[in-house]
Amino acid sequence: MSESVSIIGLGLMGRALAETLLAAGHRVTVWNRSAAKADDLVANGATRAATAAEAVEASPLVIVCVLDYAAVHEILDPVPLTGRVVLNLTNGRPAEARETARWVAERGGDYVDGGIMAVPQMIGGPGALILYSGSQTAFDRYEETLRPLARPHYLGTDAGLAPLYDLALLTGMYGQIAGTLSAMALLRSEKRPLADFTASLLVPWLSAMAGLQPAWAAAIEAGEHATEVSNLEVNRVGMANLVHAFAEQGASLDLLLPMKKIIDDRVARGHGAEGLSGLIEEL
Ligand code: FVH
């Protein structure tokens, strides 16, 4: 069913959202602070709103995807929101989402927060995921409209949940990037080729290790950190070896040094027999 959707914010992500909803057959109205960013979309069938207020007026579903929540407030502050569903796909914090949900409700609107787990090129493709939280009525009403953008995953009525899970997933990603870059620095210290190492060794290794993580989650939820694989004492020695090797090779392990300190601290507190999941108690 063709729906009217307004999109406020036509940066890299906002444009990808608008293009995908247009391609899915929806009637899309767009507004961006720098108006020229709407030109291609208008040429492809979108309607240009002259102001943010005009964009909000044009559709019952208003998607906002701008730099930060300060920009969201700046844009929507002077605009009536009565009867509108505001879907905010701007990256932010749980507290900001909860405050914005209250602010939209006071102004007569319904609020859904979203966390986009994709880069713009992935929008509309099979790997894209969008986390949603906030008004269940609004999410249920527009779930199918939004489905062409990405696989939807609704987390609950607390608007803060989408950013909470978004930040948790990004945290996992940054940890993986830190390990990958450090591994590459070590190989580069001997001018070893990186592309083949990454494709044939590192990615399969990381995938195999990722398979252990659900068991860690269960151990953490049970508060039970006994292990039958490398315990913290073994990892303490392994980490010291890593630090020594990086120094000898002239590479930096700075991205991972905080982990060494936490392992050392945990062992010093008498928990050397635990598995790595025990580090959660230090966090
Ligand atoms: N790009 C990505 O890979 C990530 C994927 C995960 C989600 N993020 C978040 O999406 C939000 C927008 O990101 P973006 O990639 O579209 O960012 P830009 O291309 O830099 O566009 C920024 C837009 O925000 C507008 N804007 C900024 N400040 C204001 C303001 N004070 N008033 C009105 N609009 C403002 C900006 O307008 P203009 O500079 O073109 O006039 C752009 O439309 C973001 O939260 C990511 O974390 C993307």
Q: What is the pTM of this model?
A: 0.94
pLDDT at residue 271, as a whole number: 97
pLDDT for the residue numbered 140: 98
With a Cβ cut-off of 6 Å, ligand 1 is lined by 9-14, 32-34, 37, 65-67, 71, 74-75, 90-91, 116, 119-120
pLDDT score of 1: 82
DSSP 273: T
CATH 1.10.1040.10 assigned to domain 211-281? The reply is: yes
pLDDT reading at 228 higher than 90: no
- Please tell me the distance between residue 63's alpha carbon and the centre of ligand 1 in angstroms: 13
Q: What is the mean pLDDT of residues 132-158?
A: 98
Dump pLDDT digits (tens) for 117-143: 999 999 999 999 999 999 999 999 999
Q: Tell me what percent of the residues of the chain surpass a pLDDT of 90.
A: 98
Q: What is the per-residue pLDDT for 195?
A: 97
Token pair recorded at residue 206: 């990381």
Domain residue ranges of the chain, discontinuous segments joined by + = 4-164, 211-281
Closest by alpha carbon to 187, among 142, 249, 137, 100?
249
Residues 4-164, CATH architecture? 3-Layer(aba) Sandwich (3.40)
Q: Which tens digits make up the pLDDT trace of 165-177?
A: 999 999 999 999 9
Q: What's the CA gap between 262 and 182, in Å, rounded? A: 18
Nearest CA to ligand 1 atom 8: 91
* C-alpha 126 – ligand 1 centre gap (Å): 23
The string of pLDDT tens digits covering residues 100-116 is 999 999 999 999 999 99
Task: Return the amino acid letter for 75.
Answer: I
